[in-house]
Structure 1
């Protein structure tokens, strides 16, 4: 799986499972850790943070923009971001994680900007 698809899948999976502020547990913690790691990578880029927040509210409308931002900011190639996304997917789709569904091939080309 390419890194952007992994990150987007993890974010959408966490949001769709209601892992927001009101939930509890390990998966919720992993979801928030992923978001924090991405925001840290964005390094105060307000445009990038807006794309992330907007994607979590309306994934369909903001999908392309967040994909671009993840590539532009280097978040898609950041080992900490990838590891956080993999941890979350291991919790919300253990079966997929076991068979290597969320293994990232960093050799895959990132989308053109």
Structure 2
């Protein structure tokens, strides 16, 4: 799974889990940590306004996904590797929400020399 898809999927899963009373504190903590790291990345790159898009994505992902995807790419999150903390938190959220998928490697990040690609379930690609 590419880093952007992983992050977007984890944000959506984390928002869903956090809205439920049954979600464990580990998932909620990982979700809040992921959002905080992304917001810090936006601020560090001089894109503090992008935090608003992140907040809107959490509320209505279907309407703001393309905007947030562009903002995540603009700050370089599409180039993250498995060892980066943002990726680790995103994987943690998804592993706790989908242990079966995690055990098959569904949420592992691997990109090598690709220009355009899609990996995962129910993908949508926007070409500029």
Structure with higher Rg: it is: 2
Aligned to 2:120: none
Greater helix share, structure number = 1
Secondary structure at the counterpart of residue 105 of structure 1: coil
Distance 1:99 1:4 in 2: 20
Aligned to 1:98: 103
Give me the CA root mean square deviation: 2.1
Going from structure 1 to structure 2, the CA distance change for 1:46 and 1:86 (only over 3 Å counts) comes to: same
Structure 2: where are the runs of 5+ without partners?
A: 117-125
TM score, norm. by length of structure 2: 0.76
What CA deviation, in whole Å up to 9, does each residue of 1:41-80 have, x standing for no partner? Answer: 1125222111101101110110000000110011233422
Segments of 4+ in structure 1 off by > 2 A? 75-78, 106-113
Q: Give the C-alpha shift of residue 13 in structure 1.
A: 0.6
Once the two structures are overlaid, the 10-residue window that deviates more, 56-65 or 36-45, is 36-45
Aligned to 1:40: 40
Paired residues in the alignment total 111
Q: How does 1:1-113 map to 2 (within 5 A)?
A: 1-17=1-17, 19=18, 25-42=25-42, 43=44, 45-78=47-80, 79-107=84-112, 108-109=114-115
Q: Give the C-alpha shift of residue 24 in structure 1.
A: 5.3
TM score, norm. by length of structure 1: 0.85
Structure 1: where are the runs of 5+ without partners?
A: none
